Structure 1
């Protein structure tokens, strides 16, 4: 499989339509993007096999699901040896409260988007998990007051 998949205009139309509603039937999708059903099915399968379409899912309202505390956490490591970094990465990816995790350049090593029920649950996340990882030096929390723009849509 090639590293980069060349998207056609039809592929882009399929991706945009599926990002708006991934529950469309193949016939509905084909009609929406102006393709035959068989051609559309082949293109969707090719996009899936190439990894361009990585999965399908529902968009959940975190507040209505009982996760009203939302924070961006900036993490600094005390050590950067391979085993310490690997353990931190593994542990962060396993925690359900960590819904996004980015290793970055700059002042902080990781940026996390964390969702919890409330401040008490977040405090437990810090005390019982994050600060118990030996490689963690510090964590700076920015509490999200309001989601101004949040998209999972990729602009193709």
Structure 2
């Protein structure tokens, strides 16, 4: 896919707000026919612009979880070290998010656990075995103050 135009950006903005919006409604919102809108979505999916669809779950209503924010500092910041670390992180579903960062640490990870014992297992079996890790700094959340989807304009 060469570039994302204004219509594609509008489609993406609306899908971020409501990925379950019907194609007919989405098409009407962006000024396309339903078939043209679906064609654009398929092109963006195939090009990897749209990687997946997900649901925001309020875990307080489903299960007791604690979010743990983990700052990782690597021994070296070469492309090879970054690539090895990122490939390893992708293998563990326990790691919900991973961000390459600027500042004091190289990566910020988010995991969700039921209790400290579960985090101890993740720390021992996963985090401490990731390649090139020099330092691990973990913080447990007290509660989630804001988890939201982007507001519709």
Q: TM-score, normalised by structure 1?
A: 0.76
Work out whether residues 73 and 139 of structure 1, in 8 Å CA contact, stay in contact via their aligned partners in 2.
yes
Q: 4+ residue stretches of structure 1 with deviation over 6 A?
A: none
Q: Map Cα deviations across residues 78-129 of structure 1 (whole Å, 9 max, x no partner).
A: 3556665544322222111211112223221211111112211011111222
Other-structure match for 1:30? 27
Counterparts in 2 of 1:126-141, with a 5 A limit? 126-133=123-130, 135-141=132-138
Deviation at 1:25, TM superposition (A): 2.7
Counterparts in 2 of 1:7-156, with a 5 A limit? 7-8=5-6, 10-66=7-63, 68-79=65-76, 85-133=82-130, 135-151=132-148, 153=150
Work out whether residues 67 and 115 of structure 1, in 8 Å CA contact, stay in contact via their aligned partners in 2.
no
Deviation at 1:15, TM superposition (A): 2.2
Unmatched 5+ stretches in structure 1? none
Deviation at 1:75, TM superposition (A): 1.1
Q: SS where residue 89 of structure 1 aligns?
A: helix
Q: TM-score, normalised by structure 2?
A: 0.77
Q: Could you say what the CA RMSD is over the residues aligned between the two structures, in angstroms?
A: 2.9
Aligned counterparts of 1:44 and 1:12: Cα–Cα separation in 2: 11
Unmatched 5+ stretches in structure 2? none
**What is the number of residues matched between the two proteins?**
153
